[in-house]
Amino acid sequence: MMRLSATDLACRRGGREVFAGVGFSVTAGEALLISGRNGSGKSSLLRMVVGLLRAAAGRIVLQGGDPELTVGEQAHYLGHQDALKPSLSVGENLRFWADFLGAAAPDVAAPLAAAGLDALADLPAAYLSAGQRRRLSIARLIAVKRPIWLLDEPASTLDAAGQSRLTELMRTHISEGGLILAAAHGTIGLDGASELRLGQGEMGP
Amino acid sequence: MTPLSAILVRDMRIAVRVGGGALIGVLFFLVVVTLTPFALGPDLALLKRIGPAILWLAALLASLLALDRLFAADHEDGSLDLLLTGRAQLELVVAAKGVAHWLTTGLPLIVAAPLIGLLLNLDAPAEAALVLTFLVGTPALTFIGLIGAALAVTLRRGGLLLAVLVLPLTVPVLIFGVAAANAAVLGPAPFGAPFTILCALTLASLVVGPFAAAAALRQEME
């Protein structure tokens, strides 16, 4: 059973303490919503989990994963930026990430359809709107199977249809035994997700 | 496709498309070399004597042109986060990007060099020697440049810093590249000795460049 937990994490940015004493625990089939005001360290916490930021204190442990791989190598990280190249087409962008992240079958048609972008596969990504760019980076999560999803405000630029599609994808991921850490201001539409409020240091029900 | 060949193909595709900058380097090279005879006047003996040096200097500057975007573009759009946390070794990722950069900016210089050498009164054997030194030397310029590109990744005007950082490191390559080319053009010094050292410099930079650049990238993302 996969279980991602952290104890006593502290984050320092530019000499200022952002948070300290933060802990959480998520098991397979669960989601954790990370909330908090602006600057409370939601993005920093996700970057720590994926391995892009060193924790000033504390540790992050993954049990039941592949011992040969780091947490970041078993996770999808969906940051603020969409990691798309404007001069490549929608299909080429997705195919690159599928190849780089190691998709078993690099078939980009199905993930594009799941993200609602199948009609735009040949369009250069430069012409996409902010919401369409976000949909394309979400398609990456479908194209390559990874057990852990780290989502940084995934719904921020999505329209209502896109948000419900994303919620559906997250439900499917959880029901298949995946685990999700999502930073967001509002709810993410998942029932039974526990919540970690940064800036207060306690874990809600 | 493996992760590394995926990077190679992607970077080459981006480079040859609109705004990619693959042809900017070779155009800059052509312009600089073309301007030299106008500045020096039609002194054929002088042009022949300084021709290899002019070509090498122009190639050095041209290879720096597109280098500052190599990692900075990936940093700005968030791709670098994914490259850093991917399963592929970062050193190999960096090397794959270097190879793609050389194929799209270094190789065109080598193709253009014989053509442009005519403007500097170089004959066929001299041009062959020059192309050989370019073929061996330009990968060193790219792979030394990788270090500067990685160090300047988070800076807005990184291009200027890149030139200041990288140009001093390329001095040995310049010295032995020009020495080998001059030996072939003017004699009587042997071609082999400086050419062998140039080969050694390139081999060393192929190893050191990716490791140093990957270390710089890891530090900078903190």
pLDDT tens digit sequence for B110-127: 999 888 888 888 888 888
In angstroms, the CA A22 to CA A6 distance is: 8
Contact A43, A21 (CB under 8 A): no
In angstroms, the CA A80 to CA B165 distance is: 31
Q: Across chain A, what does the average pLDDT equal?
A: 86
User: A142-146, B154-158, B163-167: lowest mean pLDDT where?
Assistant: B154-158
Name A76's bridge partners.
A149
Question: pTM for this structure?
Answer: 0.89
User: Is the model's pLDDT at A182 over the cut of 60?
Assistant: yes
> What are the φ and ψ backbone dihedral angles of A116, each rounded to 5 degrees?
75, 30
Contacts of B139 (CB under 8 A, 6+ apart): B102, B106, B202, B205, B206
User: A182-191, B50-59, B90-99, B167-176: lowest mean pLDDT where?
Assistant: A182-191
Residues in B closer than 8 angstroms to A83, CB to CB, are: 77-79, 81-82
Q: What is the pLDDT of residue B31?
A: 92
Q: What is the pLDDT of residue B201?
A: 95
Peptide bond between residue B188 and the one before it cis (omega within 30 degrees of 0)? yes
Contact B62, B33 (CB under 8 A): no
A187: which DSSP letter? Answer: -
Percentage of chain A lying above the pLDDT 70 cut: 96
pLDDT band with cut points at 50, 70 and 90 for residue A203: very low
Q: What is the pLDDT of residue A204?
A: 41
Q: What is the pLDDT of residue B212?
A: 95
For residue A60, give the H/E element and its range.
strand A57-63
The residue among B10, B11, B18, B82 with the most chain A CBs within 10 A of its CB, best to mutate, is B82
Q: What length is written for chain B? A: 222
pLDDT band with cut points at 50, 70 and 90 for residue A200: low
Contacts of A65 (CB under 8 A, 6+ apart): A2, A71, A74, A147
Rounded to a whole number, what is the distance in Å from the CA of A76 to chain B's nearest CA?
9
Between A126 and B159, the more confident residue is A126
Q: What is the pLDDT of residue B16?
A: 87
User: Is the model's pLDDT at B72 over the cut of 80?
Assistant: yes
Q: What is the pLDDT of residue B96?
A: 95
Domains identified in chain A and CATH numbers? 3-203 (3.40.50.300)
pLDDT tens digit sequence for B171-193: 999 999 999 988 887 777 888 89
Q: What is the mean pLDDT of residues B74-84?
A: 90
Q: Give the residue from B193, B205, B33 showing the smallest Cα distance to B120.
A: B33
Residues in B closer than 8 angstroms to A82, CB to CB, are: 77-78
Residues in B closer than 8 angstroms to A54, CB to CB, are: 222
B1:A80 CB<8 A? no
Asked if this assembly's ipTM is beyond 0.85, the reply is yes
A54:B76 CB<8 A? no
pLDDT band with cut points at 50, 70 and 90 for residue A205: very low
> What are the φ and ψ backbone dihedral angles of A77, each rounded to 5 degrees?
-110, 115
Q: Give the residue from B175, B169, B171 showing the smallest Cα distance to B147.
A: B169
Residues in A closer than 8 angstroms to B79, CB to CB, are: 83, 85
Q: What is the pLDDT of residue B197?
A: 94
Q: Across chain B, what does the average pLDDT equal?
A: 89
In angstroms, the CA B44 to CA B122 distance is: 9
Other beta carbons within 10 angstroms of residue B192's beta carbon come to 10
User: Is the model's pLDDT at A93 over the cut of 70?
Assistant: yes
User: Is the model's pLDDT at B98 over the cut of 90?
Assistant: yes
B77:A73 CB<8 A? no
> What are the residues of chain B with a beta carbon less than 8 Å away from any beta carbon of chain A?
1-3, 5-7, 9-10, 13-14, 17-20, 76-79, 81-88, 221-222
Domain ranges for chain B: 3-220
Q: What is the pLDDT of residue B160?
A: 82
User: Is the model's pLDDT at A201 over the cut of 50?
Assistant: no
User: A59-73, A189-203, B34-48, B129-143: lowest mean pLDDT where?
Assistant: A189-203
Partner-chain residue, chosen from A53, A73, A82, that has the shortest CB–CB distance to B222:
A53
B2:A99 CB<8 A? yes
pLDDT tens digit sequence for A121-166: 889 999 999 999 999 999 998 888 889 999 998 888 888 888 888 8
- For chain B, give percent helix, strand, coil, nearest 5: 85, 0, 15
For chain A, the distance separating the N- and C-terminal CA atoms, rounded to the nearest angstrom, is 21
Q: How many beta-carbon pairs under 8 angstroms link A with B?
A: 77
B82:A77 CB<8 A? yes
What is the maximum alpha-carbon separation in chain B?
A: 58
